[in-house]
Structure 1
Amino acid sequence: MMKKMTGLVLTMTFASFLSACALNSSTDEKANKETTSAVQTADIKQIKDQVIKASNTGNIPAKALERKDTFIAGMSAPGGVFLPYFYDNGWDGNATSPIFSPLVDLDKNGKPIPILAKSWEISDDQLVYTFHLKDDLKFSNGSPLTADDVAFTLTLLHDPAYDGWGDLAAATIKGGKDYKDGKAKTIEGIKVVDPLTIKITTEKVNAKALLLLGGIVLSKDYYGKDYTYAHLDYLKKLYSKPVGSGPYKLEKYIPGQEIRYVANKNYYDGPPKVKNFIYKVTTPETTSQLFEAGETDYDRFPAEPESVEQLKELGFANIKVTTANSYSYAYINNTKPYLKDKAVRQALIYGLDRQKITDVTYKGYGTVANVPVSPVSWAYTEDGINKYKYDVKKAKQLLDEAGWKVGKDGIRAKGETKLKISYLTSRNDDDFIPIAKENYKALGIQFNPEVLDFNTLLTKLNKKDYDLAAVSTPMLSDPDDAVADLASTHPDNSAGYSNPKVDKLLEESVSTTDINERKKIYHELYKELSDDPPVILLNYRKVIHANNARISGLNPDNFTGISSSLPNLSIKE
């Protein structure tokens, strides 16, 4: 499930970019609850997206000024698998992005733009994609990049031994399944027209096909020279020796410390102006320290007032506060008899003070989520949506009408079954716990939180051995990424949710490439999910980026992070 990179992310981190927190003692948990209850949420001001320019570049640390040709960005722990489509660690995705380029990528608004492709055409029936490559493309080792490399990449991802996150099944390339099943030696729908043109025929319209088919291109000469059908282990020896077509190439990887890159002289748009790029491994404890000392030029910081004030005091930091292209929520196990009832799920939302949870967690740098997509998405709307304002009376009414009566012990019951709700999280500092415990007690629900290690939580989630579980989405490239696993037939439907109308709308939402038509479908889908909620939507958060003002051209966005900026950076003298 986790390999697909478009499903859930267990909330084991503070704001998804921070590294995993170790489980602390019960004493720490108690202290956290006491702190949480003391927060005066009524005084919290909601922060808007904003850019704060450096106020005093004279404060730039000498350590940073010494680097005339090197840009250093902080990141959490990479795993060392520098081959697209094959890594499990999401940070390796960040690490590979400077090395490899796709045919098509997304701009800052989430719309497709050409990278290695010069252009593309989609047939009238939306089934045939023809990509035209730019002239004289090369990989970092100097070998030419042609349509044969695109064909090889798409074929490799259909190999039966491939089980990574780059699943092309949704693109339904004609003959792709036959190749995967060993019934064909080639994929019928992939045709190399000439060295700069490839035509791909699909069997079903899918709105995400353009990005799936136009992904990162791997070198056939380098990654395919030892390829034999159904045997991909040979690639492991190349994980640490990448050859790509991005703006940089790997120079050295020092596990636990940094990844060093050098400008790729064969990059199609010319080598980057900044010769050297480094990803330095940082932790929540070292992020601010390294940035302040000039050891890093860029990093992301906890979305809270203290972070912004500290960065402003430095004087040399350009600060960007943006809404993240993700959201947090709690899974509801819809397979449990007492949670199949829509009224009970609605009561769990009405009776939960989500605004307080959001304010306590993000201190103004977050807002309550009411639809399963980020506000930065073109599909976002709250028109016709039930916002489930905190309403204890309404929650109690729904539970009463559903037959759950309060017993002498204060716990609701229906027959012999008491309404006891478990909640799983991998964060001991989860602000959901103290607030939900208090809110649900007022409703007559016994709330039983449990903090587990990441792997145990994941196992329980996959087995549907839970009632509620803390999750969040990764960065969303398409609105479908956030809701696809709610389909009753989806293999990763960890919520166990089933709604025929939702199934129909989910299928329709990706069955056209017309963005305006898709908007209409998503708006209808969000209304249905609001009425029949499969999860408890919690919040959208802000992300705080900061860079040393000596770096010009850095503009991190919600779809590609800093990778799209890398080719255009420069260092001010």
Structure 2
Amino acid sequence: MVKKRMLFAGLMLVLSVFLAACTEKEKTGEGEKAPDKKDEGVGIEEITEVDPKEASLDFPHTVSNKEPVIEDGELTVGLVSESPFEGMLNSVFNSSESDARVMDFFDENLLSYDGDYLITNDGAATYEMSKDHKMITLKIKDNVNWHDGEPVKASDLLYSYELLGHPDYAGDFYDATISNVEGMPAYNEGKTDKISGINVIDDKNLTITFTEASPTILSGIWSTPTPRHHIGDVTTGEVTMEEIMSSGKIRVNPIGFGPYKVAEIIPGESVLYARNENYWRGKPSLKSVFLKVVNPSSVVELMKKGEIDYASIPADQYLNAKKLENVELLAGVESTYAYIGFNLGKWDEKKNENVMDPTKKMSNKLVRQAMWHAMDNETIGKELYHGLRIPANTAIPTAFASFHDGDNEGRPYDPEKARTLLTEAGYLDVNGDGFRETDKGEEFVLTFAAMEGGKKVEPNAKFYIQNWADVGIKVQLVDSRLYEYNEFHELLKADDSNVDIYQSTWGTGSDPDQEGLYGRRAALNYTHYTSEKNDELLIAGTSEQAFDTDYRRDIYNEWQALMIEDVPVAPTVYSYALLAVNNRVVNYSIDPGSELWLYEMGVSQEKSVVAK
């Protein structure tokens, strides 16, 4: 499934939309700032502006190379990141975007998706939905085998659900879609050792019954199986959850049933994939694929030399990348948005849910509203990112054309409005130092967590710090530094009390349902925001009535308005993502509606094209 992920990238591009979208159709392939801008070297530059609307028209979605694919070609992929990949190479346990990109070549869903992110019968399994929309029947196609030759069984998909709902599961994907499976809550609470809503008929067939009919089933159903025979069986006590998560079976020697299988892993650094000769769709075009972690600062030079065949291009290197004659730039709008998150509470282990804390520094929504109005996102997009970032107005990105509310302006840059809101909240500069105190007259200093991810991240963070200083809010980076990817991830998951606000990016996945990101029991809800109205709208957005697109659109417009009023997060920018592809690459597309599949991607000559 296209899962919702948090991209811990301070506006750093990884191979997100492209490989995620393609994997879900099993094709080509789913972040955060003193006050004086000049003194702090904010780094806003004078550059030639690029109109993103024009840019999107100029950039193709599919490579233009139509030459024949050579036999036994080899491809090198750059995984653009300043940090090693974690190596949790199993969909149930993974929460890292980099690991997801590693899995794209060997992991696969049973169900495929179309250009509207709805499940189809083009994948390794077909489906039928019952008339009441509460039961789905899956049938695995012939010759769908794990890389070790064992057949992929219906019980392997059951195993994914048994892991996701297990009382000891500590991952991020036990959400409303999973808990909607009939009998799952009782299983999750340890009251039974069986999930009553999943019936394995035989090795090829199973049914999944849901408590409530929901359109989320058609775009968010989990259809990624887990090889029970390979990693061991938790349900029998053969292994524990902890043992699986540390096992070489998923960290060093993972298996899938995709077009390529893992031949060798250098942990955190690289993966060599070999052709899966028995892939169910047919023989893959490439003999091998080599993926390696590439620093954002060196990706353009490596593309120039032909040392990698494709990689995401950070927007701050767009001007350099577009000069390269040996590559083609593909571009599209990501189903992501960058945002500033406000720490409003904590995760309650006993209740297993998010809980608001009125003593948190960011508990006054007028202050949150003011901070959003204070951010000059248009200047950030134009000056730091060459026009390839545009101001975000809501928490549902434009990629969801049917549900994004383009008529709601959100909270546009308006420093005077920000000052008015702060004064209304009682936050005044009592001592005349240029910074406001709280409504109780106490010092008001916010700590801001941001992470590494390209040379523009620090100027981006400091620019926002300056924006907030301009309206009288004092903000400082946590520990006066940017955090490394994995370190930043752990900082938020640990509910670190030193973090008042943070900057990151949501990857929203294939489903406009927001429960997995903002739900009361969502593990990825790092703001810990909850409200009864939020609960009500999230439930309505996935109800049986929401099969009516007009009704669902109205619900999500109301939800977007609620988020703009309550501001648990302040969306900052939507992104145009760039991918550089060597001119020898054939049969590659970033269009989710394309008919090209990953196993068809190949090269038209033995060696990469090198720039002159």
Say whether the fold is shared (TM-score over 0.5): yes
Q: Does 2:166 correspond to 1:159?
A: yes
Q: Is 1:453 aligned with 2:483?
A: yes
Task: Provide the C-alpha distance between the structure 1 equivalents of 2:162 and 2:400, rounded to a whole number of angstroms.
Answer: 31
2:56 matches 1:46: no
Is the Cα contact below 8 Å between 1:379 and 1:479 reproduced in 2? no
Candidates 107, 123, 128, aligned match of 1:121: 128
Equivalent in the alignment of 1:281: 293
Aligned to 1:316: 326
Structure 1 residues 42-89: Cα deviation after superposition (integer angstroms, max 9, x where no partner) = x633223242599999xx9xxxx9996112211143334433323454
Tell me which residue corresponds to 1:539.
573
Which stretch of structure 1 is more off in the superposition, 407-416 or 246-255? 407-416
Q: Residue 109 of structure 2: SS of its match in structure 1? A: coil
The one-letter code of the counterpart of 1:361 is L
1:326–1:221: structure 2 CA closer, same or farther, 3 Å change rule?
same
| 1:373-415 Cα deviation digits (max 9, x unpaired) | 2211244433441332322332222233333334333333434
Tell me the CA shift for residue 522 of structure 1.
1.0
Length-normalised TM-score, structure 2:
0.79
Q: SS at 2:207's partner residue?
A: strand
Partner of 1:547: helix, strand, or coil? strand
**Aligned residue for 1:200?**
208
**How far apart, in 1, do the equivalents of 2:530 and 2:175 lie?**
25
Q: CA deviation at 1:246?
A: 0.8
Distance in 2 of aligned mates of 1:226 and 1:448 = 45
Structure 2 partner of 1:502: 534
Residue in structure 2 matching 1:238, options 212, 234, 249: 249
Q: Sequence identity of aligned pairs in percent?
A: 22
Which of 475, 496, 521 is the equivalent residue of 2:555?
A: 521
Distance 1:391 1:383 in 2: 19
**Cα distance in 2, alignment partners of residues 281 and 498 from structure 1:** 38
Matched to 1:276, the amino acid is S
Give the match's secondary structure for 1:497: coil
Question: How far off its partner does 1:269 sit?
Answer: 0.8
Distance 1:356 1:227, change over 3 A: same
Match of 2:223 among 206, 210, 215: 215
**Aligned match of 2:4:** 6
Normalised by the length of structure 1, the TM-score is 0.84
Give the aligned partner of residue 198 of structure 2.
190
| Residues 131, 287 of structure 1: alpha-carbon distance in 2 compared, 3 angstrom cutoff | same
Whether 2:107 is the aligned partner of 1:93: answer: no
> Secondary structure at 2:413's aligned position in 1?
coil
The CA deviation at 1:515 is 6.2
Q: How far did 1:452 drift?
A: 4.9
Q: Is the 8 A contact 1:102 1:115 kept in 2?
A: no
Q: Which has the higher contact order (CA 8 A, sep 6+)?
A: 2
Out of 419, 442, 466, the residue aligned to residue 396 of structure 1 is 419
CA positional deviation for 1:329: 0.8
Q: Unmatched 5+ residue regions in structure 1?
A: 19-25
The 5-angstrom pairing of residues 173-572 of structure 1 reads 173-210=181-218, 213-224=221-232, 228-229=236-237, 231-232=240-241, 235=244, 236-239=247-250, 240-255=252-267, 257-304=269-316, 306-307=317-318, 309-334=319-344, 335-336=358-359, 339-407=362-430, 408-413=432-437, 414-427=439-452, 429-450=457-478, 451-454=481-484, 455=487, 458-459=490-491, 462-474=495-507, 476-481=509-514, 484-488=516-520, 490-512=522-544, 514=547, 516=549, 517-557=551-591, 565-572=597-604
Say which SS state the counterpart of residue 430 (structure 1) adopts: helix
SS of equivalent residue, structure 1 residue 398: helix
1:132 aligns with 2:139: yes
Q: Are the counterparts in 2 of residues 247 and 272 from structure 1 also a CA contact under 8 Å?
A: yes
SS at match of 2:201: strand
Offset of residue 300 of structure 1? 1.0
1:246 is paired with a residue whose SS is coil
Inter-CA distance 464–503: structure 2 relative to 1 (3 Å threshold): farther
Of 414-423 and 45-54, more deviation after overlay is shown by: 45-54
CA shift, 1:274, in A, is 1.7
- Cα distance, 1:544 vs structure 2: 1.0
Q: Offset of 1:475 from its aligned partner?
A: 5.3
**Worse-matched range after superposition: 218-227 or 118-127:** 218-227
- Residues 1:142 and 1:494: Cα distance change in structure 2 (over 3 Å): closer
Shift of 1:325: 1.8
Secondary structure, aligned partner of 1:296:
coil
How many angstroms apart in 1 are the aligned matches of 2:465 and 2:310? 39
Relative to structure 1, the CA distance from residue 40 to residue 389 in structure 2 (aligned partners, 3 Å threshold; closer, same or farther) is: farther
- After superposition, the C-alpha distances for 1:289-330 in whole angstroms (9 at most, x for unaligned) are 3222222111111114x53x4334332212112222211111
Residue 504 of structure 1: CA displacement? 1.0
* Aligned-residue offset at 1:180: 4.1
CA deviation after TM superposition for structure 1 residue 519, in Å: 2.3
Report the CA distance shift for 1:141/1:366 in structure 2 as closer, same or farther (over 3 A): same
CA RMSD of aligned residues (A): 3.6
Conservation of the 8 A alpha-carbon contact between 1:101 and 1:116: no
Rate the CA distance shift 1:227–1:525 in 2: closer, same or farther, 3 A.
closer
Residues 55, 456 of structure 1: CA spacing in aligned structure 2 closer, same or farther, 3 A cutoff? closer
Partner SS state of residue 336, structure 2: coil
How far, CA to CA, are the matches of 1:500 and 1:526 in structure 2?
15
Give the superposition deviation at 1:490: 4.2
The count of corresponding residues between Structure 1 and Structure 2 is: 548
- Does the C-alpha gap of structure 1 residues 66 and 359 become closer, same or farther in structure 2, counting only changes over 3 Å? same
Deviation at 1:372, TM superposition (A): 0.7
Per-residue CA deviations over 1:98-138 (Å, capped at 9, x if unaligned) read 22221123334423233544431222332211112223322
Which residue of the partner structure matches residue 71 of structure 1?
75
C-alpha separation in 1, matches of 2:309 and 2:504: 31
Write the distance in 2 (CA, Å) between the matches of 1:487 and 1:284.
33
* Residue segments in structure 2 that go unaligned for 5+ positions in a row: 17-33, 345-357, 606-612
Report the CA distance shift for 1:146/1:211 in structure 2 as closer, same or farther (over 3 A): farther
